[in-house]
Chain A
Amino acid sequence: MRAKADRDACIGAGVCTTYTNLFAIDDDDGKVRVTSEREIQPDEIDDVEDAVAMCPVVALSLVDDHTGGSGDGAAATSEKGT
């Protein structure tokens, strides 16, 4: 899994940066920047998923390199079973 950001959608609120340092607000244009293209590690996945889910404009997503599938925070996430 890797993190992806839609910079056109981003409003620069910075919600994501409070969950993980995988996202930062760029000083130049005030929009989100993915700080690392690295594979997300198991011990940080919860925080990254929270950052994606809490984005007010659904600008963030997780991309699975193996399946090509992606998930975004557009829908309410069920808490059941988590």
Chain B
Amino acid sequence: MTGFSHSVVHADALPEVDVFSDAYATDPRTILDRARKESPLVRTQRGVEAIAYPHCQAVYRDDRLAVGQRELFEKGGLGGTRFASTFVRNLNNSEGEDHARLRAVVGPSFTPQTVERLRATTRDLIESWLDEAGEQEEFDFMDTVADRLPAAVFCLILGAPVEDAARVGRLSYSMTKMFLADPASRDEILTTFGELEDYAGELLERRRQEPADDVLSALVAGEREGQLTSTDSVTMVLLMLTGSTDTTASQLAHVMIALALHPDQYATLRAQPEPMTPKVMELARFAPGVWATARTAYEPIEFQGVAIEAGTQIWSNVVAANSDPEAFTDPRRLDLEARRRNPPLNWGLGVHFCLGRFLATLELEEVLRAITRRWAEFELVGEPRLEGIPTLVSPRGVRLRYRAAA
């Protein structure tokens, strides 16, 4: 890390990008490509934004930057509530030793080897839902698969009854409104928090009586060994829920839209689905659901040659990083046969690297395996609506029509 020097520029002097414009919503990559040629860091309405791959890497790896959702809760009228004071202590909002302690308890439940056990059940769920869809001419992918799968998989890994998935999905839908920082959702969030707190408490109590091999049991064991308090366990359940549902639903949808719009690549996928993982990663790179993620500088710092004031949000623009030609050859092309040498940044990097990354890719892999077995071709009916631009972008109205495989 270099110290302050004469070459340091103030954040105000950075080129500007309007991330709330219609042009950005329609085609962010053209705007970001042009801006990146001028500067790897830009100023936007929400703070300073890294738009080159190495600078985005630096955002995740800089331990002077915190995830910091406190400001979000203040803006959403949730400041001073018991919800806010509980939730700010969660894994994602803690740093240093606190973070390492919390992550160590649940980390082993999310390794590729552990989540592998959920694959068969995940596949069965997807198959049954696609059977339902098969009875119709065209169907809504969000209602049929994308909005249902993450909540079901959450129940499975947590150790909750999978029959609870619909209720859990509804609670998560209300709870994730906390990220919108809209005071209008305040009451809904607080009510849902209470309900989720009770629900998580009951599940944990059941596992205290009869431990099994799941996340709830890992939390209970963590409590017994003094690594967690019972409040830590409840907030962990809440964090895992809100971090896994709409993000994964969004990623599933973006991948399906990308494939529908690139029938040649769908043909490539069908001709040779395995190995599936690199193809899923290329699809996620090309069509990320999370367009950007934020960190906060709580002290004035120099970041990559730019003087940043305390309280500034620094964003990693995932769309920009994933389409940086210095990191990915011919990045504007979806190429399922490309051999990529860098990870897409959809799941972040650094110590806060997405805990559920292998669950998300497992869900993506099994959806793609199922459709390639079933569908010779598929297309979008109408144009999906994108909500949440420019941050977590959720497609709505993803209607699909397919021709069944012979």
Residues of A contacting B343 in the complex (Cβ-Cβ under 8 angstroms): 15, 53-54, 56
What is the bound-complex CA distance between A29 and B104, given in angstroms? 8
How many of A's residues come within 8 Å of B, CB to CB? 23
Q: Which residues of chain A come closer than 8 Å to B347, judged between CB atoms? A: 56
Q: Is A45 an interface residue (CB 8 A)?
A: no
A82 to chain B minimum Cβ distance, whole angstroms, is 6
Secondary structure call for the A interface:
loop
How would residues 7 to 31 of chain A score, 1 for a CB under 8 Å from any chain B CB and 0 otherwise? 0000111110110000001000110
Residues of B in contact with A, size category: 20 to 34
Contact (A53, B342) CB under 8 Å given A30-B107, A79-B327: yes
In the complex, per-residue mask of B309-348: 1 if CB is within 8 Å of any chain A CB, else 0:
0000000000000001011110000000001111100011
Mark out the residues of chain B between 100 and 124 whose CB falls within 8 Å of any chain A CB in the assembled complex.
Answer: 100, 103-104, 107-108, 110-113
Stretch of B68-76, B262-270, B350-358 contacting A (4+ beta carbons < 8 Å): B350-358
B358 partner residues in chain A, CB cutoff 8 A: 14
Q: A49: shortest Cβ distance to chain B, in Å?
A: 8
- Does the CB pair B113–A17 fall under 8 Å? yes
Q: Is A50 located at the chain interface by the 8 A CB criterion?
A: yes
CA distance A14 to B355 in the complex (A): 10
Q: Which residue of A lies closest to B331 (CB)?
A: A79
Query: Are A14 and B111 in contact (CB-based, < 8 A)?
Result: yes
Contact yes or no, A11 B341, CB < 8 A? no
Q: With contacts A76-B327, A77-B342 known, is A56 near B111, CB below 8 A?
A: no
Q: Cβ of B86 < 8 Å from any Cβ of A?
A: no
- Contact between B112 and A18, CB atoms less than 8 A apart: yes
In the complex, per-residue mask of A44-80: 1 if CB is within 8 Å of any chain B CB, else 0: 0000001001101110000000000000000111111
Q: Is the CB of A56 within 8 A of B329?
A: no
Instruction: Let me know if A50 and B341 touch, CB within 8 A.
Output: yes
CB distance from B109 to the nearest CB of A (A): 10
B329 to A, closest residue via Cβ: A79
> CA–CA, A29 to B227, complex, Å?
14
Do A79 and B113 have beta carbons less than 8 Å apart? no
Residues of A within 8 A of B349 (CB): 56-57
Contact with A along B51-74 (1 / 0, CB 8 A): 001100100110000000000000
Contact A80 B329 (CB under 8 A): yes
Contact of B111 among A12, A29, A50, A78 (CB under 8 A): A12
Tell me if B277 counts as interface (CB < 8 A to partner A). Answer: yes
Q: Is the CB of B112 within 8 A of A17?
A: yes
A11 contacts B351, C-beta separation under 8 Å: yes
Hey, which chain B residues are within 8 Å of A13, CB to CB? 107, 110-111, 353, 355, 357
For residue A11, which residues in chain B have a CB less than 8 angstroms away from its CB? 100, 103, 107, 351, 353
How far in angstroms is the closest Cβ of chain A from B100? 8
CB-based contact B108/A30 at 8 Å: yes
| B103 lies within 8 A of A25 (CB) | no
Which residue from A25, A76, A82 sits with its C-beta under 8 Å from B108?
Answer: A25
Chain A, Cβ-Cβ closest to B277 = A18
When A30-B104, A75-B54, A76-B54 are in contact, do A56 and B350 touch as well, CB less than 8 Å? Answer: yes
Q: Flag if A78 contacts B326 (CB, 8 Å).
A: yes
Nearest A-chain residue to B327, judged by Cβ: A76
Contact of A56 among B100, B339, B348 (CB under 8 A): B348
- Contact flag A12-B348 (CB < 8 Å), given A53-B342, A76-B342, A79-B329: no
Residues of A within 8 A of B353 (CB): 11, 13, 56-57
Chain A residues within 8 Å of B112, by CB: 14-15, 17-18
Cβ-closest chain A residue relative to B54: A76
Which residues of A have CB within 8 Å of B53?
76
Give B340's nearest chain A residue, CB to CB. Answer: A79
- 20 A-B contacts, Cβ less than 8 Å apart? A12-B111, A13-B355, A15-B343, A15-B357, A17-B111, A18-B112, A25-B111, A25-B113, A30-B107, A50-B341, A53-B343, A54-B343, A57-B351, A58-B61, A76-B54, A77-B327, A78-B327, A79-B328, A79-B339, A80-B329
Report A's interface with B, CB cutoff 8 A.
11-15, 17-18, 25, 29-30, 50, 53-54, 56-58, 75-80, 82
Q: A13-B357, A17-B112, A79-B342 are in contact. List 13 more A-B contacts (CB 8 A).
A: A13-B110, A15-B343, A17-B113, A29-B104, A50-B341, A56-B353, A58-B61, A76-B54, A76-B327, A77-B327, A79-B329, A79-B340, A82-B341
